[in-house]
Structure formats: structure tokens, C-alpha cells
Amino acid sequence: MKWEELLQIVGKEPVFHSSILIAGGVNPIDLGRQLPRWVKSGKLIQLRRRLYVLSKQYQKTSPHPFLIANQIKRASYVSLQSALEYHGLIPEYVPIVTSISTGRPEKVDTPLGSFIFKHIKKELFSNYQLVDLGEEQSAFIATPEKALLDLLYLTPGSDKPEYLQELRLQNFTTKNINILIELAGKSGIRKLLYASRRIKTMLSESEIS
């Protein structure tokens, strides 16, 4: 396979899996030789086994970190602080993308950054949506309430008032809190219900806005 042929197939893809090339009729043995060469020469960036990004000079679209996270682990969605920042609910910049999956927890370090995947039980793997990120890219991201609920679920002591104050939640409306309490109730997890009710109290006292 020639480099020009690869560009014709994946030139518009911000992130691509090598299987897309094999599906196009490329000899897998030849491909297995060529891909490492292109990575070594700097034409390709390998994110994970069989997952690649074109180097900057060949990119038509710079890959969004959330899209990369979704591609690294297909059955996952962006959540926790990453989604809370995206939705404008916390003031901090979050440099590492954190996602939720039902698989084993892991951290994946790539040339384009680190990506953390947290495990959650299947019953709680819900309330995420496909979000348009612009430039013809999209990714599965938790709803604002589910991102917070995931954080509360995975953080020890998250139902304590001190922890909730440290979150410095902002732009959290009555509608958000009502959905949060509803989700917490459906989960059947007492800690989540306690925490969501305490957030409601803090909201009503104007300690968060």
C-alpha cells in the first residue's frame, strides 16, 4: 500500500482504525509492514494497537480529545470532571479526559495526551448522548446531571458537605437538581440520594449558583 492510497481512504478521518484499510481490500500483511514504518517516519501517530491519527501536516481536521477517548474504548462515554467542565458546571480546566465504561479501569497514555477510563456497573451505564463537537466530529458525553452523579458515585465521601463545597458547582439550575435527584433515586444508592439532596439545600441557600 502506498501513502497516497492511505490518504485517499482516511484523509478526512480525524482518528481511524486499521480495520478500515483492510475492509478496503488492502493486503493485511503488507499493511502490517507499512504502518510501523509510517509511524517511525512521523507520518502517523499510533494511539493504541490498530488506532491511528495522521500527523499534523496531513490532517484535514484536528482530532478532538473526546472523540479520541471514545475511539480508544468504544463502549464508553466522557464523564466526571471532563464532562462537567464541558457543560460549564465547574470553573477548572481539566487536562486529562476521563470516561466511564463497564470494562476494566485503565489509564491510556498517548502522544496526544492521557485518557482515564473508570469502571461503573452496567445498571448505571446510562444518560449519555452523542454531542456534535464541530468540524464533523461527535462523541458520547454524559448529560450534566449524570456526569455529576458519576463523580459522586466514584468518589469516597462525596456526600459530605465539605466535598460538595469544594466542587464549586456553577450554572447549576433547579431543573438540573431535579433531574439529579431523580437519577439518584433510580440508582437505589443511598449515598447518591443524600448527596443530591444536600446539593439542593446548598442551591436553595444560594451557596452555589
Q: pLDDT tens-digit profile of 49-75?
A: 999 999 999 999 999 999 999 999 999
Please give the residue that has the higher pLDDT: either 205 or 183: 183
Is it the case that residue 208 has pLDDT exceeding 60?
no
Report the CATH architecture of 3-58. Answer: Orthogonal Bundle (1.10)
pLDDT value for 153:
98
* Dist. CA 207–CA 161, nearest whole Å: 11
pLDDT in tens, 151-186: 999 999 999 999 999 999 999 988 999 999 999 999
- From the list 191, 196, 169, the residue with the least C-alpha distance to 180 is 196
Cell numbers for 111: 502522544
Helix (H) or strand (E) holding 208: none
Burial class (CB in 10 A: 0-12, 13-18, 19+), 144: buried
pTM for this model (two decimals): 0.92
The C-alpha R_g of the chain, in whole angstroms, comes to 20
Q: In sequence order, which residues have a C-beta less than 8 Å from that of residue 202 and are 6 or more positions away?
A: 161, 164, 165, 208
Average pLDDT, the chain: 93
Measured CA to CA, the distance from residue 18 to residue 52 in angstroms comes to 7
User: pLDDT band at residue 24, thresholds of 50, 70 and 90?
Assistant: low
For residue 26, pLDDT over 80 is answered with: no
Q: What is the C-alpha to C-alpha distance for residues 75 and 40, in angstroms, rounded to an integer?
A: 30
Q: Per-domain residue ranges for the chain?
A: 3-58, 65-204
Burial class of residue 28, CB neighbours in 10 A (0-12, 13-18, 19+): exposed
Q: Is the pLDDT of residue 207 over 70?
A: no
